[in-house]
Structure 1
Amino acid sequence: MTSIDEARDVDASLDQIWEIVSDVDRDPEYWSGLSSIRNIRKDGNLTEREVVVGFMGRKGTQRIILNPKESVQMTLVTGPLRGSRAIKLSKLGARKTRIEVSWDIQFSEIPVFAQGFVRARLEEGTREALEKIAEAAEARKK
């Protein structure tokens, strides 16, 4: 398993951040490696979806569970990566929130020679997503 951990403190309330990260239908706006999504099932806080990821357009299946105002837990069921991604929120103050993103993945359909590249791209994409989420949240409070 490969682990990737990134975090960012954002000048926005937990509610503002939650509005963004819990709207999983808009994930492609924040997560650059996610080309498209098609929801298979939505039931309360559970979403199952098919996705197209990466520059080669690989398909996969994801299961997402929303834990309101705490976390978004995603399981990568099928596809080039298998494992999980957790987005956890921590209130640091009335107008400050920490976002932590943790990946725990296996490269199920990625050749060994390309795994370093994919890991680096995933790290970069996670940092970019945190930046985009922060910008969106900070723009909403204006």
Structure 2
Amino acid sequence: MIEITAKVMINSTVKKVWSVISAIERDPYFWKGMIRVRNKSRDGNVFTREVTLSNSDKCYQKIILFYLEGIHIKWTRGTLTGVKDILLTQIGNQTLLEVQMNYTINGIAQLRSRHISEELRDEAELALQLIKEDIEKIQSFEIKERKQWVDLIRE
């Protein structure tokens, strides 16, 4: 059993963070271990989908979206089985984004479980950073005092 927890504070509201993480079709952009996702069915806030991993393995997920609270992802079949929960907590004017993963590695991949565990931890930390950057992408810039052309001549 692999257990991983990763957290990041994001300078934004829970609503803005939710709008990014609930767009689950964008998961391969944030979660680098995925190369493709294909939704198989949808029933309200419950999705079933096929995920192609970077090593070309196919896995299946059941996803439940909890508005402004988080996402519950159950890996039901494939190299990985288990649960990934993505949780949102509003703290003042910031949002704590937390990922908790509890996986079992199946098949021949069990031989590389330590390496896979490290890869999953790195992937979770990178995903949180990419989500944070996506939300906080408006770069602050320094406002300089503007000079008139007359001021430039006098210098």
- Name the TM-score, length of structure 2 as normaliser: 0.86
Does 1:60 pair with 2:59? yes
Q: CA deviation at 1:141?
A: 9.1
Q: CA deviation at 1:139?
A: 1.8
Whole-angstrom distance in 1 between the partners of 2:132 and 2:107 = 32
Letter in 2 for 1:37: V
| Structure holding more strand per residue | 1
**What's 2:119 paired with?**
121
Distance 1:47 1:131, change over 3 A: same
- Which is further off, 6-15 or 104-113? 104-113
Aligned to 1:77: 76
- The 8 Å contact of residues 12 and 141 in structure 1, kept in 2 or not, is answered as no
Distance in 2 (CA, whole Å) between partners of 1:108 and 1:31 is 20
Paired amino acid for 2:121: E
Which structure: larger Rg?
2
TM-score normalized with structure 1 length: 0.94
Q: Distance in 2 between matches of 1:37 and 1:14?
A: 25
Q: Is the 8 A contact 1:81 1:109 kept in 2?
A: no
CA separation of 1:23 and 1:141: change in aligned 2, threshold 3 A? farther
- Letter of the 1:2 partner, please give it: I
What is the number of residues matched between the two proteins? 140
Unaligned 5+ segments in structure 2 are 141-155
- The structure-2 alpha-carbon separation of the partners of 1:75 and 1:134, relative to structure 1 and needing over 3 Å to count, comes to same
Mark the CA change 1:58 to 1:16 in structure 2 (over 3 Å): closer, same or farther.
same
Task: Kindly indicate whether residue 16 of structure 2 is the aligned counterpart of residue 16 of structure 1.
Answer: yes
Structure 1 segment 37-116 matched on structure 2, within 5 A: 37-54=37-54, 56-94=55-93, 96-116=94-114
